[in-house]
């Protein structure tokens, strides 16, 4: 027996040591041994894929006080700290080896300096607690898409979240035996108060050691900072995809139902709080995933899988009317973790749920009452804007049956959308793959929202909704997407959407449910069953097609006046948008001429149209495509 195995045997009981040793993986053993030496847990629980392991986590999270049971069977609530309510950009950094640099837009710190800091914070952090060792996979089990992952954590809430959001991976580690290609995550909640909430948020750190495919996280519980397989692993996956010639995308996957039983698969990239999950869960369609997708070229087709098996969704504005599929899950017995909502008499309440919210209860601030203020004198809302729910996708009645297909599904459409109040129309199609990827993806512009820590409402380019997570040069990431089409015989169509277009008075021009019509116009469009008009920014729908679809999909009248307001091309605003995108990419390394060529060509088309028609051009001015 090796020295590492001897050490591990001395730190766990026979049963848990046996589960770890049976995997016969030296790199894995070294990772777990290092975590034990550094964090000094009282004991170690090595989970496998058994129902017993699942039950142990489900019971322990309540016993530890990290979740509280609610009135409906299977429902629990977890609270994060006052300053731990979203992905924290400022303290999320890449560990960069000496002599290497990443894009200046990415937070980074010297590897040796960063390791010393984060490991110093982790030292002794698990004393008196259990370290839970979890084996999961990104992507379906036993698939060319799947990536094995291990996370060591002292948070039963993190372990419970993993149960709902990912596939169990112990069997995958058994199959791979001595192979050492896996992602590893080490997390500790750090010092906690009597509510089992992390309290040293000033010492919160989330560091990504991308050269070792490892993540460190400490003094935080918010799932986006601690469930390492989410956006933290996405940073590692992007580098792996870059090396191996496939794509890792921040996208939902949706099966859209067409006439006569036809189903087409859509992927969509939206920044947080921009309509991504609500699009993925449209009633009558089939949800395959709401957050992260992997694409591979297989026999000339773009095949896609959901990296995850659950949903960690924003709950604000989820109502019975707007989101019936998820509302059904959130209001019936079954396993659901609510976080940072208001609890009154065992019932969760959140902002925009369509019901009266009590004037007192318990929330992320502790005992709450209407008018309660924080340390800065700001009134505390009953629930946080970024309050969440975690559920398995299979809990949804409209879960797509292909969720666990190891071969994936053939992708037909890619959509990019953000919060663009004044420029892009609600839906438009790219002239071709390159135009769509650049004009709608690379130039995706949004305003910052409550889903990330920091100031809200600041406009910014968020390339393909993945800019925060890219650990390779941004230009190289875009080029990988552009080049991917060359591997395909059947290239997906690319569309841009904008659910947040406003008029001059700041009123939204899209209804909440209108997105369902845009989706079905795209579905008809790719099958040659809907026409289009050719504008400088892309191909837009014809009024006659939308009028029929509004009646068919929403049983709603759609006026020519609404069409004109929504699909008028706002030349000045679009020119400013192109100028901002061009200026942003001039600052980045490795941005190819194909990017600038598409942006500048769109600007030139807008200038030419402006000379002929003016600053605001109604849709009836454009020719048929």
Q: What is the pLDDT of residue 334?
A: 97
Q: Which of 620, 516, 625 minimizes the C-alpha distance to 560? A: 620
Q: How far is CA 513 from CA 44, 181, 509, in A?
A: 48, 44, 12
Q: Using CA atoms in the order 404, 408, 413, 415, what is the torsion angle rounded to 10 degrees? A: 60
pLDDT band at 448 (very low <50, low <70, confident <90, very high): low
Better-scored residue on pLDDT, 145 or 589: 145
- Give the distance from CA 286 to its chain's centroid: 18
Q: Which of 273, 316, 274, 276 minimizes the C-alpha distance to 293? A: 276
| pLDDT tens for each residue of 261-317 | 999 999 999 987 788 888 998 989 999 999 999 999 999 999 999 999 999 999 999
| pLDDT tens for each residue of 560-611 | 999 999 999 999 999 999 999 999 999 887 899 999 999 999 999 999 999 9
Kindly tell me if the per-residue pLDDT of 1 is higher than 70. no
If phi > 0 it is left, if psi is from -120 to 50 it is alpha, else beta; for residue 248 that is beta
Q: What is the mean pLDDT of the chain?
A: 94
Q: Which of 149, 274, 302, 399 is catalytic?
A: 274
Dist CA 99 CA 96 (whole Å): 8
Q: What is the pLDDT of residue 587?
A: 87
Q: What is the pLDDT of residue 451?
A: 46
Could you confirm whether 274 is annotated as catalytic?
yes
**Range 379-388 average pLDDT:** 96
Phi and psi at 394, nearest 5°, equal -65, -15
pLDDT band at 455 (very low <50, low <70, confident <90, very high): low
**Range 391-420 average pLDDT:** 96
Q: What is the pLDDT of residue 332?
A: 97
| pLDDT tens for each residue of 207-235 | 999 999 999 999 999 999 999 999 899 99
Kindly tell me if the per-residue pLDDT of 450 is higher than 60. no
Least confident residue range of 147-161, 315-329, 430-444: 315-329
3-11 helix and 26-39 helix, angle to the nearest 10 degrees: 50
Q: Which of 384, 329, 380 minimizes the C-alpha distance to 351? A: 384
Dist CA 239 CA 251 (whole Å): 17
| pLDDT tens for each residue of 458-503 | 678 899 999 888 888 889 999 999 999 999 999 999 999 999 999 9
Kindly tell me if the per-residue pLDDT of 511 is higher than 70. yes
265-302: burial string, b at 16+ Cβ within 10 Å, e else: bbbbbbbbbbbbbbbbbbeebbbbbbbbbbbbbeeebb
Dist CA 457 CA 419 (whole Å): 10
- Percent of the chain predicted with pLDDT > 90: 87
Domains belonging to the chain, first-starting first, are 3-66+88-245 (3.40.449.10), 260-292+406-621 (3.90.228.20)
Kindly tell me if the per-residue pLDDT of 373 is higher than 50. yes
């Amino acid at each position: 027996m090796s020295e590492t195995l001897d050490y591990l045997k001395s730190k766990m009981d026979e049963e848990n040591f046996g589960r770890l040793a049976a995997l016969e993986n030296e790199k894995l053993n070294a990772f777990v041994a290092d975590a034990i030496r550094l964090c000094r847990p009282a004991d170690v629980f090595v989970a496998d894929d058994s129902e017993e392991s699942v039950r142990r986590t489900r019971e322990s999270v309540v016993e530890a006080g990290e979740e509280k049971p609610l009135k409906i069977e299977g429902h629990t609530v977890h609270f994060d700290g006052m300053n731990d309510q979203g992905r924290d950009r400022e303290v999320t950094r890449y560990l960069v080896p000496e002599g290497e640099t990443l894009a200046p837009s990415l937070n980074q710190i010297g590897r040796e300096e960063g390791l010393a800091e984060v490991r110093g914070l982790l030292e002794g952090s698990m004393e008196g607690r259990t370290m839970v060792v979890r084996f999961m996979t990104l992507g379906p089990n036993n698939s060319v898409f799947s990536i094995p992952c291990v996370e060591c954590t002292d948070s039963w809430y993190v372990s419970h979240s993993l149960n709902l959001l990912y596939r169990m991976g112990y069997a995958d580690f058994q199959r791979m035996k001595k192979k050492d290609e896996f992602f590893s995550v080490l997390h500790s909640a750090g010092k906690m108060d009597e509510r089992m909430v992390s309290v040293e948020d000033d010492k919160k750190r989330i560091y990504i050691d991308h050269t070792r495919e490892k993540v460190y996280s400490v003094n935080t519980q918010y799932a986006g900072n601690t469930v390492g397989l989410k956006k933290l692993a996405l940073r590692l996956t992007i580098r792996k995809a870059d090396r191996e010639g496939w794509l890792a995308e921040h996208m939902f996957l949706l099966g859209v139902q067409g006439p006569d039983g036809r189903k087409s698969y859509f992927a969509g990239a939206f920044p947080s709080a921009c309509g991504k999950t609500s699009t993925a869960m449209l009633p009558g369609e089939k949800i395959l995933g709401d957050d992260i997708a992997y694409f591979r070229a297989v026999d000339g087709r773009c095949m896609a899988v959901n990296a995850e098996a659950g949903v960690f969704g924003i709950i604000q504005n989820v109502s019975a009317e707007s989101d019936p599929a998820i509302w059904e899950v959130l209001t019936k017995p079954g396993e659901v973790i609510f976080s940072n909502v208001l609890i009154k008499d065992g019932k969760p309440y959140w902002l925009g749920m369509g019901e009266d919210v009590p004037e007192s209860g318990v929330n992320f601030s502790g005992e709450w009452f209407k008018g309660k203020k924080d340390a800065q004198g700001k009134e505390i809302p009953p629930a946080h804007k970024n309050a969440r729910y975690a559920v398995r996708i299979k809990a949804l009645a409209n879960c797509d049956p292909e969720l666990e297909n190891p071969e994936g599904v053939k992708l037909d459409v890619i959509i990019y959308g953000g919060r663009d109040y004044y420029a892009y129309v609600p839906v438009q199609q790219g002239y071709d793959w390159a135009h769509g990827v650049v004009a709608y993806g690379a130039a995706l512009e949004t305003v910052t929202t409550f889903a990330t820590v920091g100031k809200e409402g600041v406009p910014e380019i968020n390339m393909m909704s993945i800019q925060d997570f890219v650990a390779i040069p941004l230009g190289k990431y875009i080029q990988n997407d552009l080049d991917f089409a060359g591997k395909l015989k059947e290239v997906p169509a690319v569309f841009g959407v904008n659910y947040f277009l406003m008029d001059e008075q700041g009123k939204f021009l899209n209804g909440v449910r209108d997105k369902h019509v845009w989706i079905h116009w795209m579905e008809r469009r790719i099958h040659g069953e809907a026409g289009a008009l050719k504008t400088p920014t892309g191909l837009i729908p014809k009024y006659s097609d939308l009028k029929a679809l509004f009646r068919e999909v929403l049983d709603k009248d759609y006026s020519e006046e609404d069409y004109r307001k929504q699909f008028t091309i706002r030349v000045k605003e679009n020119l400013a948008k192109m100028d901002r995108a061009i200026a942003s990419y001039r600052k980045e390394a490795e941005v190819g001429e194909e990017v600038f060529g598409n942006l500048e060509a769109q600007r030139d088309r807008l200038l030419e149209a402006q000379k002929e028609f003016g600053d605001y051009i109604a849709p009836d001015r454009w020719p048929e495509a």
